[in-house]
Amino acid sequence: MNQASLYQHANQVQRHDAKLILDEFASTLQWRSDGEDALLDVGSGSGNVLMDFVKPLLPSRGQLVGTDISSQMVGYASKHYQREERTRFQVLDIGCERLPQELSGRFDHVTSFYCLHWVQNLRGALGNIYNLLRPEGGDCLLAFLASNPVYEVYKILKTNEKWSGYMQDVEQFISPLHYSLNPGEEFSQLLNEVGFIHHNVEIRNEVFVYEGVRTLKVLYFPRSAQQSYAQFADPAFCRRLTHPMIPLADSGGVTSKTNTEYRNRMTADVVFIHTHVYMLYVTVFVGRGRVHLAEVQTNAWPSK
């Protein structure tokens, strides 16, 4: 995740999902009547998702701030988008104890795609997102992984003598909601605890097919462990990524037949890795006094 140029060309999943999310939820963002909205994005990475899908939504006089915990990512984005007006990038750890003063209470909108599952201190991160918004109100759109079968691979590699040395800190790369029996309810509770009273939380079962190991490694594996895993050349090992905890029965439009077809495509030469991933989509609206939307929706978490 620290190799910005590599990530820029391997984040097809993020691009695909960000577009789907914004196509569905962008209309819920409440823009200022004067067109001078300020939007901050959490976990912008190399910047292409933010610039290609979020910035076109911003009013012409709007201000855009992209942030990332990685100084390398921020440097890459700043260099490649330096000619963009009203746009800047800066380093920010959304899980930090205290926000930089120049960011606190300055934004009308906060977005984040494929970032919060990397943050172990979710409560702290949500508290910071709350404090990024203006005191008079704002809204945010967040999407991240609640669960992913690749996390089980982390644990497998940790027990493998050859790779265990690279995976000692594996727990910090696993979504804090991965083991939750009801991540939607748990996340809603965290929102309430930091001050977000009214919100919409949806859990969706998505199916991804990674056309090759390179993309999978860049997106999900710690830099120290991004080696040439011989296991990925073994179709039997790859099939384990369909996660025994998640049923292959019909779910979200995905059938057992489809699973079988994907599995049959796995070969030692070209690995198409098929995973069930549970995504959390969160929309939060805050008006004066941090309350605006009167509806709360939390989808049921499939039993494992």
The stretch 123-141 carries a mean pLDDT of 92
> What is the average pLDDT score of the chain?
73
In terms of residues, how long is the chain?
304
Helix (H) or strand (E) holding 42: strand 38-42
Torsion of CA 172, 174, 179, 183, to 10 degrees: 100
Higher pLDDT, 159 or 89: 89
Q: How far is the C-alpha of 199 from the C-alpha of 182, rounded, in Å?
A: 17
Confidence of residue 242 (pLDDT cuts 50, 70, 90): very low
> Rg of the chain over CA atoms, in angstroms?
19
The predicted structure's pLDDT at residue 297: 35
Tell me which CATH code domain 4-298 carries: 3.40.50.150
Contact status, residue 282 vs residue 201, Cβ threshold 8 Å: yes
Q: How far is the C-alpha of 1 from the C-alpha of 16, rounded, in Å?
A: 18
pTM of the model as a whole: 0.73
Contact status, residue 208 vs residue 272, Cβ threshold 8 Å: no
pLDDT at 162 over 70: yes
Identify the residue whose tokens are 């809603």: 188
Instruction: Find how far residue 273's CA is from the centre of its chain.
Output: 19
130, 128, 145, 219: which is closest to 180 by C-alpha? Answer: 145
DSSP assigned state of 303: P
Burial environment of residue 266 by CB neighbours within 10 A (0 to 12, 13 to 18, 19 or more): buried
Convert the pLDDT of each residue in 167-216 to its tens digit: 778 888 888 988 888 888 898 899 989 988 778 888 877 766 655 555 55
Contact status, residue 157 vs residue 167, Cβ threshold 8 Å: yes
Convert the pLDDT of each residue in 91-104 to its tens digit: 999 999 999 999 99
Residue 32: how many other CB atoms lie within 10 Å: 14
Contact status, residue 36 vs residue 59, Cβ threshold 8 Å: yes
Q: How far is the C-alpha of 55 from the C-alpha of 47, rounded, in Å?
A: 11
pLDDT at 138 over 70: yes
DSSP assigned state of 290: G
Residue 227: how many other CB atoms lie within 10 Å: 12
Burial environment of residue 109 by CB neighbours within 10 A (0 to 12, 13 to 18, 19 or more): buried
Beta strands in 174-293 (DSSP E): 199-211, 272-286
The DSSP bridge pattern shows strands 109-113 and 38-42 to be: parallel
Convert the pLDDT of each residue in 267-290 to its tens digit: 222 333 333 345 555 665 544 233
